[in-house]
Structure 1
Amino acid sequence: MSKDNHGQTPAAWTGTFVIIAASVISTVGLVQNNWNMFWAGIVLTVIGGIVWIVWEKANSRRKN
């Protein structure tokens, strides 16, 4: 239990920032009826999640 960091890692912060920024891009695209911008935001949201997971796994391997 002492190894639990409650998401306070560079991976968590970066992933969260990318996902929030992508959500803003997607929302602006939706409001402006710009479907290319909307889908770019969706793709960036998925990429943010992938970056978060990969970076978290890379850090956990390094600690062990």
Structure 2
Amino acid sequence: MAGHNHGHTPAAWTGVTIAFIGFCVAGAFTVLANPLGFWAGMVIVALGGVVGVAMRAAGLGMPKAQPHPRPRPEAQTQQ
């Protein structure tokens, strides 16, 4: 997939980085047995998704793919 530039955009990197920080916060507060901190981490995870979508809408994501024309089937040769 690296040849298709899959997810290598500022919107994707920013959204995933924010979500990763949220998972780290939630995990730390899970170990500390603090439900409020855990849910704060989950809010940060959701914020990462919102930021990623907003950045994509602002033009920092992958451009919409242009539909590829379908190849016409070759005429079958008669034997």
Tell me which interval the TM-score lies in, with the shorter structure as reference length. 0.7 to 0.9
Q: Equivalent residues in 2 for 1:25-36 (5 A)?
A: 25-36=25-36
Question: Which residue number in structure 1 is paired with residue 43 of structure 2?
Answer: 43
CA apart distance, 1:8: 0.6
User: Which structure has the bigger radius of gyration?
Assistant: 2
* CA distance in 2 between partners of 1:37 and 1:52 (Å): 23
Q: Which runs of 5+ in 2 are unaligned?
A: 64-79
TM-score, normalised with respect to structure 2: 0.67
Give the partner amino acid of 2:25.
Answer: I
CA apart distance, 1:5: 3.4
Give the partner amino acid of 1:36.
Answer: L
* CA distance in 1 between partners of 2:8 and 2:56 (Å): 11
The structure in which a higher percent of residues are helix is 1
Overall identity of the aligned pairs, in %: 36
Question: Which residue number in structure 2 is paired with residue 19 of structure 1?
Answer: 19
TM-score, normalised with respect to structure 1: 0.81
What is the RMSD of the two structures over their aligned residues, measured on CA atoms?
1.8
Could you list the per-position Cα deviations for residues 22-54 of structure 1 after superposition, in whole angstroms to 9, with x for gaps in the alignment?
Answer: 001001111110111101000010011010011
Q: Which runs of 5+ in 1 are unaligned?
A: none
Count the aligned residue pairs: 59
